[in-house]
Amino acid sequence: MLKAVASTCLQSRFHVATTSFNPHLRRSTESNSPLLRVLGSVYRPNCSNSRSPYFFRRFFCSDSSEGSDPVAESGAEAKRIEREGEDADSKSSAAIVPTVFKPEDCLTVLALPLLHRPLFPGFYMPIYVKDPKLLAALVESRKRQAPFAGAFLVKEEPGTDSRIVSGSDAEKNIYELKGKELLDRLHDVGTLAQITSIQGDQVVLIGHRRIRISELVDEDPLTVTIDHLKEKPYDRDDDIMKATSFEVISTLKEVLKTSSLWRDHVQTYTQHIGDFNYPRLADFGAAISGANKFQCQEVIEELDVYKRLKLSLELLKKELEISKIQEAIAKAIEEKISGEQRRYLLNEQLKAIKKELGLETDDKTALSAKFRERLESKKEKCPPHVLQVIEEELTKLQLLEASSSEFNVTRNYLDWLTALPWGIYSDENFDVLRAEKILDEDHYGLTDVKERILEFIAVGKLRGTSQGKIICLSGPPGVGKTSIGRSIARALSRKFYRFSVGGLSDVAEIKGHRRTYIGAMPGKMVQCLKNVETANPLVLIDEIDKLGRGHAGDPASAMLELLDPEQNANFLDHYLDVPIDLSKVLFVCTANVVDTIPSPLLDRMEIISIAGYITDEKMHIARDYLEKSTREACGIKPEEVEVTDAALLSLIENYCREAGVRNLQKQIEKIYRKIALQLVRRRAQNNPPVTEAQNGEPIQLNAESHCVLTETSTGEGTRDGGESKPDEIENSLDQATTSEVTLESENIKSNDIETVDKVLVDMNNLTDFVGKPVFHAERIYDQTPVGVVMGLAWTAMGGSTLYIETTLVEQAEGKGALHVTGQLGDVMKESSQIAHTLARAILLEKDPANPFFANTRLHLHVPSGATPKDGPSAGCTMITSLLSLATNKPVRKDLAMTGEVTLTGKILPIGGVKEKTIAARRGEVKTIIFPSANRRDFDELAANVKEGLEVHFVDDYNQIYNLAFSDNEKTKE
């Protein structure tokens, strides 16, 4: 069998088909089939119809992504390719006697892999052959006048997606395969292709008929034996097949209307519609469609003509839908582009017309005019160096293109430069009496703060001008630091601007960004000046003690230039890059704790401490400020509610013990919200909603009628369908005989009377509005036991009382030790050790025979244990607690003390005198012991804070010992 196949192949290679390439000999073999006449015109370049080769080259050639497309070639180029093929054929056949060779005689062919698309019969396809052996075999085959090869589509590689793998990767994988591996990757059904020309590695093929691979002959290059396939028999006159073919033709005509890409193909088809049969029509429709290669392969493999027509029709319908979508997209884009172009042209024409008439200038001229007009009003007051920079930037703006990025940077820079209030100052009001009235209206108490502001105004009055200062208001939250800043601005008639620096970690927020950065902006101070439009506003810098520090620099250091009176006259913002005078700006800073403010920054501020409010001050603030504003915010009239002084006092002492009044305001708001709900409910009960009677007319039900209708539902007055009359309701009420109805009506009438009365909030019903008390009395002990002493502490929320307790753990010879608890910091732990040492020395001096500390293990505790405590002011309290236990003497019950002690018994000064004094008053303490160095701080306190207190100032602990235990000794005597 192999010998027979080889001999057949050898004969076919040397068997020259003269008639297939000789026009005169071929005419005798042509049949009268119209399809063959159409195909025959491809091989007759010298026939009378010179247009046929050109049209059918375009008509029968399918697209290829591998190289040049013969469809795009001109008619002359197509003729040139044919002439070259005929010349090569004539040269190769000169030495051999030509014989007849038909395509069906070719039984062994070279297998050509097609990567992108199968070759349809009657269509051209250029391919690139990268394998040198395969290319040499193709050239040799063409020289031997057997220019046929098998074109087979490559299968998809297992485990890959054709949508992801690139064409170059697929080509590389195919070229690496040889023999059996390559054969397994090829589809069995392909096309017998004639080699029309070979130029370099480009081979142009034209399809003839369908073939199927039967056996492998040679592996390199891949050579296979083939079987020629024929269509299954079909009935030409079958109505369904005719209808299907007509639908294919109709679809092609529709495509002509929607897609210009197919116009040449369809025009050629309509010219030769009579020359087509059903199989060729199906191939033609599938070949020119944009279907993928696997769908086209289905058409190649289909031998049933009717099924092939249906497949081709399906592909054409899909292509038609795609063409319609493409047309719609193109139309929409064209309309959009044409509309925008038309609008652009009209705008340009309008600009040109206005410019000719002098009605409008171009953008750059208009911008320059706007900037100059903005600068005109402040040109006399503007510093010369700023004017010079503005003129330079205006000149630069005229030279730049409007579309360049530098143009936008320059425009924004000029916008900021010309918008700042250069040399513009607001008129200040130096009326001290007016300022004092405004400060008293807004805040109660705070005498030292108000006095400092009045001093500032008085100096400005005498000088005729005010110089900017830096005031730092420090104190716990809720004492009114921010609102004081607003009041100062109102008293001075200055513009007010506030910005918070809490958590700020970027220096650019203060100093601005460089102009070269994208989205660059000036710093907060430049933004402030632009907003307030004056160069002497009051700037409130909130939460300055919470400045952050990040990767973008240290904002606290950048604030130095802003707040330093010696530097802020020439403050330099990174964005503007010109000096700005901030010397007339009044800076007011707020902080909860000044300890966290960096020392260089704190040195430039004038600290005004706001310690907090005592109960009396909170009462005035609640009555005169908080209650009034809350009542107005809730929409309640003054005659509708009454809050007694006892209720407010209980609210302050049992619910709101913080230093400020923010929590007090929240509780008052809570009370008034509940009062508002009560008032609305009562009004709803007195004015029930409108209902509808049976005839559809609305009736109004008050409390009495509602009672009657519910209890006398069997009465005729509620069922007659008419409107209820007051007389009828009274009659029905008289007819009610049960005591329950009478009692209910009386209760409702009494409720109606109560709605006229005020809502009273007093001690008895306060818990109904704000719940149970949060705090209890700070005094844990009515009579202070042995080893317990009350101390005074300062916190960021104000002052508080603090008990220090000492107890005996065990007592034995040489067991003297001290154990400390209460979550104490390092400073208080050291104070406890100092107190233990000093207490032993004092006990040895007072009672030499008492070995208490040497033989006793002690435990010192500072409640509460969950609260961290630290500070240098608990030494004297700890010593007193230890000595009280050692001498078995309790201290005075109304005594509280504070102060740090040295090893020699000296008392050191402490801080937070006002806060600790307020805490002592809150704890009902009558006697306080302070270090002598704090006498000045106590004397500066307001009279109402010091009222009723017995204060002792001491230098040595022996004085404290005498004060703490003197009354007890007198009592014993």
Give the whole-angstrom CA distance, residue 788 versus residue 877. Answer: 9
Between the alpha carbon of residue 387 and those of residues 390, 423, 559, 588, the distances in Å are 5, 12, 27, 31
- Asked if residues 183 and 213 have their Cβ atoms less than 8 Å apart, the reply is yes
CA 646, CA 762: separation in Å to the nearest integer? 6
Report H helices in 724-824: 726-735, 739-754, 766-770
Angle at which helix 305-357 crosses helix 239-258, to 10 degrees, equals: 20
| 291 class by beta-carbon count within 10 Å (0-12 exposed, 13-18 middle, 19+ buried) | buried
Q: Is 643 helix (H, G, I), strand (E, B) or coil?
A: strand
476 marked as binding residue: yes
Q: Where are the beta strands (DSSP E) in 679-787?
A: 690-692, 698-700, 759-761
What CA–CA distance (Å, rounded) separates 884 from 366?
88
Is 708 marked within a binding site?
A: no
Letter for the amino acid at 318? K
In sign, the C-alpha dihedral spanning 778, 927, 664, 643 is positive
What is the β-pairing status of strands 856-861 and 817-821? parallel
| Annotated binding residue 384 | no
The span from the CA of 280 to the CA of 41, in Å, is 16
> Any binding-site annotation on 880?
no
Nearest to 293 by CA among 495, 520, 64, 451: 64
Name residue 115's amino acid: L
| Cβ within 8 Å of residue 726, ≥6 positions away | none
Is 480 annotated as belonging to a binding site? yes
- Collapsed DSSP state (helix, strand, coil) of residue 163: coil
Give me the catalytic one of 52, 724, 873, 884.
Answer: 873
Cross-sheet strand order for the sheet of 817-821: 817-821, 856-861, 798-811, 788-795, 895-897, 927-931, 950-954
Residue pair 231/278 in contact (Cβ under 8 Å)? The answer is no
Query: How far, in Å, CA of 185 to CA of 921, rounded?
Result: 99
Q: Which residues contact 777 (CB under 8 A, 6 or more apart)?
A: 923, 924
β-strand pairing of 222-228 with 108-114? antiparallel
Give Dmax (Cα) for the chain: 158
Cβ neighbours of residue 330 under 8 Å, at least 6 residues apart? Answer: none
269: Cα separation from own chain's centroid: 60
Active site residue 916: yes
**873 a catalytic residue:** yes
Question: What are the CA-CA distances from residue 636 to residues 627, 674, 675, 770 (Å)?
Answer: 11, 11, 9, 18
Nearest partner of 263 among 255, 272, 271, 251, judged by Cα: 255
Residue 478 assigned ligand-binding role:
yes
Closest CA to 268 of 36, 38, 33: 38
Place of tokens 């306190």: 941
User: Within 13 A of 967's CA, how many CA atoms are on the CB side?
Assistant: 10
Q: Which two tokens stand for residue 104?
A: 């069906």
Query: To which H or E segment does residue 672 belong?
Result: helix 662-686
Residue 481, annotated as binding a ligand: yes
Whether the CB-CB separation of 590 and 541 falls below 8 Å is answered with yes
Please tell me whether 868 is known to bind a ligand: no
Contact 957, 879 (CB under 8 A): yes
d(CA 611, CA 622): 18
Tokens of 597: 């403010």
677 neighbors 634 (Cβ within 8 angstroms) = no
Structure tokens at 306: 């009717």
CA separation, residue 645 to residues 215, 622, 652, 761, 773 (Å): 113, 10, 11, 9, 17
Q: Residue positions in the annotated binding site for ATP?
A: 475-482
Which residues are annotated as part of the binding site? Answer: 475-482
Q: Give the catalytic positions in this structure.
A: 873, 916
